[in-house]
Structure 1
Amino acid sequence: MHKYPVSISLSSYGADLVRQQGQLSFVEVLAAAGAQRIEWREELLTTEQPHELAQAAADQGLECVFSSPLELWVAGRSQPNAELAVTLDRAQAFGARWLKVSLGYFTDTNDLDSLSALLNRHPVKLLVENDQTLHGGRIEPMQRFFNEIERLAVPVKMTFDIGNWQWQDQSATTAARLLGRHVDYLHCKAVARRA
């Protein structure tokens, strides 16, 4: 049986604790737990230095994913988000092989050729995650985006966040059936419904 690599997102430990202790303090914990990857969280960074985090992860044999709250597509703009190139560079500085972002406002007029050109020049691979927004977190826009990505052979894969489908009142099982072939990173997250 093939064992898939386990990645632990540092948001799992709670934003307050991670900001208080710093992301560096969790590297040995994840390695001791048997994780193969660590997911740095851009929104939880405080005074950490990219090279220190990258080196600490490498010393423990951990691969890195860099998670950014960046939306790939901004409303009213056909080109990818102007911050994408610098965010890819930032992810690389943190030792990441993957950058995780959300879809944003994808339309039929978005310029996928320019996205492809940028990604083909960069060593960091792009992952697009279903988020908790109506415009970028529902099955329909994700399906349209990944169908176009597949048709044009743009090097993008999906992060499938199991819990986020609940925010949209959509079935994770249906999403998996429709989007599964695009998934490279499965994000397991517990979600409890409240009244």
Structure 2
Amino acid sequence: MTTIGINTLVYMNELQSGTPQSAILPTIAGHGVTLAEVRREYIADDAEFDAIAAAAREHGLELFYSVPESITIDGAAHPGFAGFLDEARRMGVRNVKFNQGDVKDVDASVIAGLDAEAAARGVSLTIENDQTPENGTLACTTASLAHIEQVGGKIGYTFDLGNWFWRGEDPDEAFGRLRERITVFHLKNVNGAANREELSTTMLQDGVIDWRAMLPQLGPDVPVFLEFPIEADRVAEQVAELRAVVDAR
């Protein structure tokens, strides 16, 4: 059965006002979900790693970790890769997500090394299509995933539904071509504006993407995370929108 999660980006207003993610996790758990994804860019100090771990344990949350860095740079692992994984292990994280970097071009031994580092810390890895030309096009994402598969790598794929619009790509085409490789799904909807500067996320029921038709096509072990800013008093509504589709599978 599909598991629902909430990325702390949902509480963007709170993050921007300085609320630590450890203080947001109890609120996330209060929506009846069991998965939360924390974001490295909003971890303000070293003590927060332990605070996040404690809050997740107390409230029965399994953690995912979003690291806004390239998994590989200039043909090698990101210089901070091992340190990022150590942070994940410290928090008790299940999965760590990175940008693609140049992983489509690296030697097989580099990917094997990434997998080994992750296995040593008990975490899985994914790469994501973001909103940049370097890491967000269908062409580069397809090439990255094909190369990982070709060399026998274990790195999974976080499919971000809304990000395709920021690259001028068709999310339906991307989903059709990449569906079988998806291991984590980031759900957002968008207004569909033709001008990139006018693009914005919307409430799930208000955007132009038919996400309801996509979710039943995912494997039952693929978690689905809400991952867009929502006013605090509308989060429960958005969880309910998602849960209605998941429960109908």
Is the pair's TM-score, using the shorter chain for normalization, greater than 0.5?
A: yes
User: Residue 41 of structure 1 corresponds to which residue in structure 2?
Assistant: 39
User: Residue 66 of structure 2 corresponds to which residue in structure 1?
Assistant: 67
User: Residue 117 of structure 2 corresponds to which residue in structure 1?
Assistant: 118
User: Residue 103 of structure 1 corresponds to which residue in structure 2?
Assistant: 100
What per-residue deviation string (whole Å, max 9, x for no partner) do you get for residues 81-127 of structure 1? 12111111111112211101110234434443333333343311101
| CA–CA separation in structure 2 for the residues paired with 1:106 and 1:141 | 10
> RMSD value over aligned CA atoms?
1.7
Matched, 1:25 2:23: yes
| CA–CA separation in structure 1 for the residues paired with 2:121 and 2:26 | 29
Matched, 1:173 2:194: no
- SS of match in other structure, 2:189: coil
Q: Structure 1 residues 126 and 141 mapped into 2: Cα distance closer, same or farther (>3 Å)?
A: same
Partners of 2:104 and 2:145 within 8 A in 1: no
User: Residue 154 of structure 2 corresponds to which residue in structure 1?
Assistant: 155
Relative contact order (C-alpha < 8 Å, sep 6+): which is higher? 2
- SS of match in other structure, 2:76: coil
| 1:83-98 to 2 correspondences below 5 Å | 83-98=80-95
User: Residue 50 of structure 2 corresponds to which residue in structure 1?
Assistant: 51
Aligned residues: 190
Deviation, structure 1 residue 169:
0.8
- SS of match in other structure, 1:55: helix
User: Residue 183 of structure 1 corresponds to which residue in structure 2?
Assistant: 182
| CA–CA separation in structure 1 for the residues paired with 2:78 and 2:188 | 27
Q: Structure 1 residues 107 and 160 mapped into 2: Cα distance closer, same or farther (>3 Å)?
A: closer
- SS of match in other structure, 1:8: strand
- TM-score normalised according to structure 2 size: 0.71
Q: Which of residues 75, 79, 82 is equivalent to 1:78?
A: 75
- SS of match in other structure, 1:158: strand
Deviation, structure 1 residue 40:
0.8
| CA–CA separation in structure 2 for the residues paired with 1:95 and 1:116 | 18
Matched, 1:8 2:6: yes
Identity of aligned residues (%): 26
Partners of 1:128 and 1:156 within 8 A in 2: yes
Deviation, structure 1 residue 49:
2.2
- SS of match in other structure, 1:34: coil
Greater alpha carbon shift after TM alignment, 121-130 vs 110-119: 110-119
